[in-house]
């Protein structure tokens, strides 16, 4: 199985508590919020796993990189929701507006794979195991070829580097987060969406503590 992301690499979406950090600051003074929904139970008809793409619009008081007030963030999130629903390229919107870290050159920036409550050994998780096995087999073959004199040290280094890069790419592609390790609103909004549908997770200090999320379901 692939290793869980280390704390310094983890996305803003992964619960701060999972990295041993402090909870995010409270809401803006004078703004009242209810207790929140928390992680909703799995609803009938929800899939075992989904892939979503999202835009994070941070709120200044939430501990995210956001510099906007809650109202300004809500205004922008609502605008982007309508633009996405009107068919504007979602990846372009992610690259332009999202405050969640985006990997350079990522063809699907801001995308995550999640498993629903109670799901074990999903297809994506099994693919990660297969990728690891392929990598181990390739490295064993390369070492045997080097020891037998069929592969020079330089060629061994080149081929092993290529194998490692392919493995890292496959690992990233198959990385899956359990629903209950994400902020609650992310799964609460994402799992009920139909493929291609776009929804909004509003800011809430407990359910969506980093800001507003515009979420599109890809798979």
Please tell me whether residues 58 and 114 are part of one structural domain.
yes
- Is residue 88 in a domain? yes
What integer best gives the mean pLDDT of the chain? 77
Please tell me whether residues 188 and 112 are part of one structural domain.
yes
- Is residue 16 in a domain? no
Q: How far apart are CA 53 and CA 90, in angstroms?
A: 8
Q: What is the CATH classification number for the domain harbouring 102?
A: 3.10.50.40
Query: What band does 8 get if pLDDT is binned at 50, 70 and 90?
Result: very low
- Is the pLDDT at 16 greater than 60? The verdict is no
Distance from the Cα of residue 191 to its chain's centroid: 14
Winning range, highest mean pLDDT, from 61-70, 160-169, 210-219: 210-219
What is the average per-residue pLDDT within 134-161?
A: 87
Query: What band does 217 get if pLDDT is binned at 50, 70 and 90?
Result: very high
| Domain count along the chain | 2
Query: Coil, helix or strand for 27?
Result: coil
Please tell me whether residues 57 and 155 are part of one structural domain.
no
Query: What band does 22 get if pLDDT is binned at 50, 70 and 90?
Result: very low
Question: What's the domain range around 153?
Answer: 123-175
Q: How far apart are CA 79 and CA 69, in angstroms?
A: 16
CB hemisphere CA count around 20 (13 angstroms): 3
């Amino acid at each position: 199985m692939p290793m869980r992301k280390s704390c310094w690499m983890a996305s803003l979406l992964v619960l701060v508590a999972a990295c041993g950090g402090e909870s995010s600051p409270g809401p803006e003074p004078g703004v009242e919020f209810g207790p929140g929904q928390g992680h909703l139970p799995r609803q009938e008809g929800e899939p075992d796993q989904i892939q979503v793409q999202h835009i994070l619009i941070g709120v200044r008081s939430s501990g995210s990189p956001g510099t906007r007030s809650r109202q300004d963030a809500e205004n922008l999130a609502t605008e982007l929701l309508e633009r996405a629903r009107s068919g504007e390229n979602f990846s372009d919107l992610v690259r332009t507006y999202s405050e969640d870290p985006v990997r350079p050159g990522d063809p699907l920036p801001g995308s995550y794979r999640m498993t629903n409550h109670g799901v074990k050994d999903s297809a994506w998780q099994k693919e990660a195991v297969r990728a690891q096995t392929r990598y181990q087999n390739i490295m064993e073959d390369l070492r045997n070829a080097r020891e037998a004199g069929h592969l020079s040290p330089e060629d061994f280094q080149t081929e092993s580097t290529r194998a490692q890069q392919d493995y890292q790419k496959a690992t990233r592609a198959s990385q899956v987060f359990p629903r209950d390790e994400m902020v609650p609103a992310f799964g609460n909004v994402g799992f009920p969406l139909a493929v291609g549908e776009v929804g909004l997770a509003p800011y809430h200090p407990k359910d969506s503590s980093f800001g507003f999320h515009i979420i599109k379901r890809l798979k």
